[in-house]
């Protein structure tokens, strides 16, 4: 159903997806598969299974968050044993769902991988932060485009130096990112940058991903995202088109060898007509 001209976009979002905002996760879910978006955000179906890569990534993310929160509080950097204890606690917290493991994966093998990844993180330049840490896991919300619901953004790390404010988003990956992967994912930080313009007036924003690779010898790589006004405008337009499609109730399956094997709604998708 198309939104009434008298209905605020936030009210429309509340009616359509049960929340009065939209997130990057929701936008990207719709882009990858509109039907998965429908099952998750419109119908609110529980995800009965979760892939081990998502659980692993969430646990590593929580550890990185803990590391920077300690630095923000003025404490010494946590040692590896402390970080591993946080990882184990986070894994246990997320172990309530049925976890789908890869053929060569197990809880123990992923714990060993986590130790290697976190050791690589501790040894990297990014572990010290880029300038003075301003915020960790900061939530921002606001209008980015008229007629579009508020965007909710969660900033992993915000740091300030004399010449810039650096916005960092952490990712885990099976392999090192190519320039093309960074460009494809850039939309997330470019949208976030519009909310941050008001938070950090007078200083240029530096946008970057930090990618932690889940390889035998993990690497930690910072990848800058250039700020391109034309690309920002393109990203706005994509987000607007996604929202218009949600308003219009356009949901369909988008089969993919990348996304389907890990989708928690495979049974519902097969039953969809």
φ and ψ at 266, to 5 degrees?
-65, -40
**Would you tell me how many other CB atoms lie within 10 Å of the CB of residue 3?**
20
- The CA distance from 118 to 102, in Å, is 21
pLDDT surpassing 80 at residue 2: no
Q: Give strand pairing partners of 155.
A: 138
pLDDT at 49: 85
DSSP code of 128?
Answer: G
DSSP secondary structure letters along 45-106: ----EEEHHHHHHHHHHHHHHHHHHHHHTTPPPPPHHHHHHHHHHHHHHTTTSEEEPPTT--
Q: What is the pTM of this model?
A: 0.91
pLDDT at 97: 73
**Would you tell me how many other CB atoms lie within 10 Å of the CB of residue 45?**
14
Third-level CATH fold of 130-235? Lambda Exonuclease; Chain A (3.90.320)
Domain positions in the chain are: 130-235
User: Residues 23-47: what's their mean pLDDT?
Assistant: 95
User: Residues 35-40: what's their mean pLDDT?
Assistant: 97
| Confidence bin at 102 (pLDDT 50/70/90) | confident
- CB-CB contact of 208 with 190 (8 Å): no
Q: Where are the beta strands (DSSP E) in the chain?
A: 22-23, 49-51, 98-100, 132-142, 151-160, 165-173, 205-213, 220-225
| Confidence bin at 4 (pLDDT 50/70/90) | low
pLDDT surpassing 60 at residue 151: yes
pLDDT at 269: 95
Q: pLDDT higher for 51 or 200?
A: 51
């Amino acid at each position: 159903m198309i939104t009434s001209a008298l209905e605020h976009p936030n009210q429309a979002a509340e009616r359509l997806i049960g929340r009065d905002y939209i997130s990057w996760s929701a936008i990207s879910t719709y882009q990858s598969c509109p039907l998965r978006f429908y099952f998750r955000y419109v119908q609110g179906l529980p995800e009965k299974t979760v892939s081990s890569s998502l659980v692993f990534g969430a646990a590593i993310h929580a550890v990185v968050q803990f590391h920077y929160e300690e630095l923000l509080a003025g404490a010494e950097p946590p040692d590896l044993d402390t970080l591993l204890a946080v990882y184990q606690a986070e894994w246990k917290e997320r172990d309530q769902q049925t976890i789908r493991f890869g053929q060569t994966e197990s809880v123990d093998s992923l714990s060993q991988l986590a130790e290697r990844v976190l050791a690589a993180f501790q040894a990297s330049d990014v572990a010290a932060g880029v300038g003075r840490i301003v915020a960790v896991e900061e939530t921002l919300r606001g209008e980015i485009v008229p007629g579009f619901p508020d965007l909710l953004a969660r900033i992993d790390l915000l740091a300030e130096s004399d010449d810039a404010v650096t916005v960092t988003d952490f990712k885990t990956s099976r392999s090192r990112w190519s320039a093309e992967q960074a460009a494809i994912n850039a939309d997330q930080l470019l949208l976030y940058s519009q909310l941050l313009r008001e938070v950090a007036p007078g200083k240029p924003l530096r946008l970057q991903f930090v990618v932690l690779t889940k390889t035998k010898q993990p690497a930690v790589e910072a990848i800058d995202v250039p700020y391109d006004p034309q690309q920002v405008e393109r990203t706005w337009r994509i987000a607007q088109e996604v929202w218009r499609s949600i308003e219009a109730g356009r949901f369909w399956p988008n089969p993919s060898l990348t996304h389907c094997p890990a989708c928690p709604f495979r049974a519902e998708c097969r039953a969809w007509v």
